[in-house]
Amino acid sequence: MKRLSLVFVVALISFWSCERESISENTSSIKKDADLITDADNQKKFNRTICLFDIEFGKKVYFPSSNTFYCFNQQFAICSIEPVCFPEIIIDPCEFIPCWLDDLDPWILYEKLDPKEFFSIKDKLGLELDSKSGAIPFALNEGVIGLQFYNKNDLMSFNKDGNAVFILKEATIFDVEISENIGLQGNVVNPGEYPIIFNEENETFNIIANVEEGFKK
């Protein structure tokens, strides 16, 4: 009887060990699958197609008689934005600019950020664009859009101290697809004054502005 009990106990321990090993293998398998999903999500989150905006400055005026729009010279206004994308160039924007920051107020971000953190995306990727009208969009987070210019333009106002602001007198609607691609949750920037983070080392003018949540065409 004692011998039978001993055999039963050994069998029970062996069964428990096998179950424990099986559970461990399943847990390990689930963890690997979760890691793969996380890596895929991170890659989707951070990797972006590089795009640029060709901006025509001025006030957009509609003429009903000819059913056409014309751009008239006017400071602090955007007449048109022509998006250009390079689907063959996939980048992680966080390698060039600060990103996924907590604050949604561009002026708070302006006080916190070091201009040296903004690398020239154009130079790093060897892109050619008009130094005055061309800009590369990026996102500091889901609510703050950035535009990297490579020269002064009609939307910038400089005071005697050399400080500058980016002025919009009218709401500006950016391309929906590009706004989503760079990680924004909106594509409309309201009229107002926005900070410019100027990096003297690479001469980039980095405008940051908050976007309204939601997309408009």
Q: Is the pLDDT of residue 12 over 50?
A: no
Note whether 10 and 59 are same-domain residues: no
- Average pLDDT in the chain: 81
* Mean pLDDT, rounded, for 73-96: 89
Any idea which of 100-114, 156-170, 188-202 has the lowest mean pLDDT? 156-170
How confident is the model at residue 197, as a pLDDT? Answer: 96
CB 48 within 8 A of CB 125: no
pLDDT band with cut points at 50, 70 and 90 for residue 171: very high
Distance CA 143, CA 186 (A): 7
In a domain, 71, yes or no: yes
In a domain, 54, yes or no: yes
Burial of 102 (0-12, 13-18, 19+ CB in 10 A): exposed
Q: Is the pLDDT of residue 117 over 70?
A: yes
In a domain, 153, yes or no: yes
Note whether 14 and 61 are same-domain residues: no
Q: Answer positive or negative: Cα dihedral of 43, 44, 49, 53.
A: negative
How confident is the model at residue 44, as a pLDDT? Answer: 43
Helices assigned H by DSSP within the chain: 2-46, 106-112, 121-125, 176-181
Instruction: Map residue 118 onto helix, strand or coil.
Output: coil
Any idea which of 15-24, 76-85, 148-157 has the lowest mean pLDDT? 15-24
Note whether 76 and 10 are same-domain residues: no
Note whether 178 and 140 are same-domain residues: yes
Q: Is the pLDDT of residue 33 over 50?
A: no
Q: Is the pLDDT of residue 91 over 70?
A: yes
In a domain, 131, yes or no: yes
Report how many domains make up the chain: 2
Domain of 27 in residue numbering reads as: 1-46
In a domain, 215, yes or no: no
Note whether 42 and 57 are same-domain residues: no
Q: How far is CA 12 from CA 1, 3, 4, 15, 18, in A?
A: 17, 14, 12, 5, 10
Q: Which two tokens stand for residue 149?
A: 């210019």
Q: Quick one: what percent of the chain has pLDDT higher than 90?
A: 57
Burial of 6 (0-12, 13-18, 19+ CB in 10 A): exposed
